[in-house]
Each structure stands twice: as C-alpha cells, then as structure tokens.
Chain A
C-alpha cells in the first residue's frame, strides 16, 4: 500500500539549517572581531615604537651656536629594527625646511594626518612610499633659535611588511578558530536535531512494523511534546479496531443469515424432488435449485472478494511450500471432481518455498481449480504442474473444457465478466478476478491460454520465488 502525504517541510532539515546558519554567523563574527582586534593591536604597537623613536630623535635635537643640530641616537633606529626586518625612513625638518633624511617622504601635515594628538603634536599616517606601504609618525617640537621659535618636525616611517606578515598569521589563526567553532557547533546542532527527532522516527517505525492485525495502542514512552500525537493515534487505532471488528462481524453474520435459509430451501427442494413425479414440477424444482446455487455462489464469492481485497491491502507474508498447498487443495477437491469422474493429477511438483499469504494463495488456486472442474467434461483429467523457472514459481492448471475465445483472455479477469463459453454453467464472474488480484498483490501474474494439443483451457498463476 502506498500513500502520498503532503510534506510542507522537514523539521529536521529546517532545524539543522537554522542551527548551522546561526553557527556560521557566530563564527564569522568571531573571525572578524579577532582580526580587527589583532590589526588594532599591531598598528598600535608599531605606532608606539615609531613614536618612541621619533620622540627620542626629537629629544636629541638641540641648538648649537644658533644652528639646529641633530644627533640621531643609535637606539632610535635600532629599536625599530628589533621589531622586524622592515626598512626605516626618517626626515627631519626645521620650520618647514628639510634638514636631513629622505626628503621625499610624504608630508605628515599636507597628506592629511589621520590621527592627531594635539597636545604632543603628533600625527600618524599610512601612505605609499617607493612602491611600498608605510606607516609614518611625525612629531614636532619647538626650539628657540636666537629668541625666535622654530618648529622642528621629525618623521619616522617604517614599511609594513612585517606587520602584514603577522596579520596574515593572525588572520589564518582566526580563520581556523572560526572554522573550528563552526564545525563543532554544526556537529552539535546536527546531533541535537537528530536526537530530538529520533522519538518521532522510533514511533513511526514501531507503528509501521506492526503486522496487519496488530491494533494495540502505542505504549512505549514518548517525549512530553509527542503525547497529544500518540493520544490521537491511539484513539484512531481504537476506532479502526472497532470498525474492522464490526465489518468482520457483519460479513460473518450476513453470510450466516443468507446462507442458512438458502441451505434449508435447497435441501427441502432436493427432498421434494425425490418425491415428485410430474415432469414439469421436476423441471421447476431443478431450476429452483440451480438458482439457489447461483445466488449462494455469488454471495460467497462477493464475500471472498471483499476478504481478498482486505488482505491484499495488508499483505501478511510468510514462507511456505507452494507444492504442499496445491497437493492439499487437489486432495480436497477430488471428491467434488470425482462426482463427474474427473481426475485431478498433479504431474510436476517443485518443492521451492515461496513468500506470501497462504490463505490468499489458496483462495486463488482454489478458484482456478474450481473453474477447471466446472468447465471440464466428465471422464477427463485436470492436470496440475507446479514448476519453478527464471526466479518465479507457477501453478499451471489445464482442463479439457471449451477453453477461452480470443475475446475472453483480456477481459475475463475483470469483475463480473464471464467467458463466451460459460453460458450453461453456474458462476459469478469473480473467480479469475480474485486469482488475478492475489497474483498481482504478490508481484506475480495470471495468464490465460488454450492448450496446444487436444484443446482446453490452461491457466497459470505466477509468483516470484
């Protein structure tokens, strides 16, 4: 049985996506924060050293005999070398006039300093110089030359290769940190989602694993959130159980109510027939008996068909030997066949096991055999072959009756359709329908043929072995 259910979304997928998405956002934020912080720290520390260097150069400027004299202390530049291998540039100017160093270093004032410290009169800029990115600090001090104040400006710059190397290192560490954070929280999220969805899955499995007749309420413990679901499921099961029991009772009761009076009428008609001499009365009585047979057969097959439909919807499979079933059935049908001197011969008997519902398969084979007996002329043999080939096992039942017309083969397995050659025989037109439905439910097929030699019908029912 396959049913389609409208699925609006998957809780599992939705929850996983949400949790993994949040983990990704958090990991990105973490990455950006760490990177920014590292960048700030490294810029800050470079700035501090540059400032210290500039300040120490500025400290060493003095006025000697009316001239500005600069004695660059060794430590001022070596402290920069300690930090990294980066190149260092400097420029010293007095009152805007270049004194010493690299004259083409960008001017800290005109280039627009990014960070002014008014008190100490320092400015920091990041600029391009000789094709490289540099960080430069400029510090200014006022000296008095001959009673006139002069601004001494010292600019110290350093390339930023070392810094960007450190930054690259830190950013790759931050990336690993973020990724690790993401992976761990995603894994935790998936685990959490699965463990919270697992009870649902377990419930589904325990319900779907049940046999077709298992209609007990669900009793295994479930999480509190699922209790309303299980309560309504249980009440649904209870309702289904009552309604199934009611319809089974109804079928049994209906059969009993219909068949017992029919049986009474039939037996009484037979008794009367034995005592009646008049030809017309005898014909009427026989007609009556035939009609009773027809209606009871139709009622029986309708009920059987209902049963077959019910059972094929909830197929209960079990492993058994098909040949055993066929031999039992042949034995049971022999007295009926014997009434018309018809032999039932089981010619080949393959002892393979098949997987299926024995009650359904018995019903199918019995219907085919019933037909064979009904349509076979007296004093003939019905032959049965149980064979297995190409992964399927078949029961082939052949009679010497009128067989099928070309017209028959396709439509005989439809409900209430009877063969062109069936006019004189009691029947309901459901026998082969039942056989076909049982075969199809087991993944097999029913094939109607005429015998090659000697005429008669040959009906084969196939099941996968």
Chain B
C-alpha cells in the first residue's frame, strides 16, 4: 500500500516510515502542509496519516481543503492533543479515524484495515493463487467453492506469510506481529493459529510448511 505521512517531527516520521516499510508498504513523507498538498495533487495514495500540529498551519485546515477538493483518500489523524472535543472535531471535519500518539502499530494497522474496508468494496485487493482467493480487506479465504471468514489472528498470520512467500518466520517474530506487547503469550500459541490456517487451506495448492527449529514458511505451488 502507498501511504502519505504528514508529520513535522523528523525522528518520529523516519521511525514510522521505517516501520511501515518493514511491512512492505511504500511511504512518502511530507513535513508540512505545502509539501503534502503537492503530493496529493500529483500522486494517488491508499491512505493519509495526518498530524495536527504542523509548522505551516493546522492539520485540520488541510483536512478541510482535502475534502473540499473531492479527494476521497481515507485520512487517519495522528493526534497528540488529549482534549476529547478536539478528537471528535476531527471526525466532523472528514477524518476517517484518529489515533492518539504514541500508538501501537497493531492498532494503527487494524484501524487502517477497518477504514479501507469501509471505503473500498470487497474483492478489490484479493490475491489469487491457483484455486485460492485471499481477500485481506474482507478477511475471507476461498478455496474452490468454499469461502471462510478468517478470525483476526488467522487473517494477520496469513497476511504476514503471504507478504513474503517462501521466507521463514520464527515463532517469536510471529508473536510480535500477532499480539500486542502487553499480552503475555507463549510462543506455542502460534501453533494453534497455524493449525487452524492449515485446516482452512486444506484442498488448495498453498501450504504452510514447518521448518524444524526455525519456524514456518508459506510454500507456493
């Protein structure tokens, strides 16, 4: 996915860009409103992450202008302000959602997914491999004629594996991706979700292979 990050704090911006790149997203960074407007007028983004306090103005005025120009790109506001009235105001101005700094990337991902699901119709992002259709936005997996709705953890595990086929993911890495940091989960929990996914993938040409002592990988035909 292609993100536009509008954030004036250089350190935070770089960290977010790095973090999103790790998940294979493309991120453009605009440190102020002028740059952000240049970006939006020339490039189509899947999602805009917008800070509120910017050096050349208020993120809210950008948001207003953005919606006035009939630009439908979803916007998630990153706010450091604590006043609830302020956050509610964001939604009135046309933001799709907001998240308070500092944010958990898991939550940011979940919110992005929810916003995109609301915006886009189902099926647009579906991946098609052999007799398998995987729609990460709708959270559905179709094998042959059978469609199942994946639970959140199953969906995210499958997304991670699909993001880099044939690559080996260790259990601790998978735990990081699937669980938030305040959950104390044993690495064996991963086995439960792998088992469930294997059941859903039954009958397709895609398999989850166990690499003894190292982790799991997704094997394509």
Contact = CB atoms under 8 A, between A and B. Distances in A.
Contacts of B11: 261, 264
Interface string B80-124: 111111101000000001001111111100110110000000000
A255 B81 contact: yes
A292 B82 contact: no
Contact of B102 (A259, A334, A379): A259
Given A270-B105, A271-B22, A256 B15 contact: no
A256 B102 CA distance: 10
Contacts of A352: none
Contacts of A259: 80, 100-102
Interface stretch (A32-40, A71-79, A80-88, A296-304): A296-304
A266 interface: yes
Contacts of B56: none
A26 B61 CA distance: 74
Given A270-B19, A274-B22, A260 B80 contact: yes
A271 B15 contact: yes
A104 interface: no
Given A335-B111, A426-B182, A260 B85 contact: no
Contacts of A426: 182
Nearest to A302: B82
B78 to A, nearest CB: 8
B172 interface: yes
A304 B79 CA distance: 14
A414 interface: no
Contacts of B80: 255-256, 259-260, 263
A29 interface: no
A263 B82 CA distance: 14
Nearest to B104: A293
A60 interface: no
A252 B102 CA distance: 15
B151 interface: yes
Given A263-B101, A263-B102, A304 B182 contact: no
Given A262-B101, A266-B102, A270-B19, A339 B180 contact: yes
Contact of B15 (A267, A290, A424, A425): A267
B84 A341 contact: no
B97 A332 contact: yes
Nearest to A255: B82
A95 B102 CA distance: 132
A274 B114 CA distance: 24
A341 B82 contact: no
A458 to B, nearest CB: 23
Best-surrounded residue of A263, A307, A426 (most CB of chain B within 10 A): A263
Contacts of A256: 53, 80-81
Nearest to B11: A264
Interface string A309-349: 00000000000000000000000101110111100000000
B173 interface: yes
Contacts of B103: 263, 266
Interface string A361-391: 0110000000000000011000000000000
Contacts of B102: 259, 262-267, 292-293, 296
Interface string A140-171: 00000000000000000000000000000000
Nearest to B176: A273
A299 B81 CA distance: 11
A196 B110 CA distance: 66
B183 A340 contact: yes
Contacts of A341: 151-153
A290 B152 contact: no
Interface in B19-49: 19, 22
B184 interface: yes
Contact of A362 (B84, B105, B110, B182): B84
A303 B83 CA distance: 8
The 10 closest A-B pairs by CB, nearest first: A263-B102, A335-B110, A303-B82, A267-B15, A263-B101, A259-B80, A264-B12, A335-B114, A259-B101, A256-B80
20 contacts: A252-B81, A255-B80, A255-B81, A259-B100, A263-B12, A263-B102, A264-B11, A264-B12, A265-B102, A271-B22, A279-B172, A282-B172, A292-B102, A303-B82, A307-B84, A336-B110, A339-B106, A339-B110, A339-B180, A340-B183
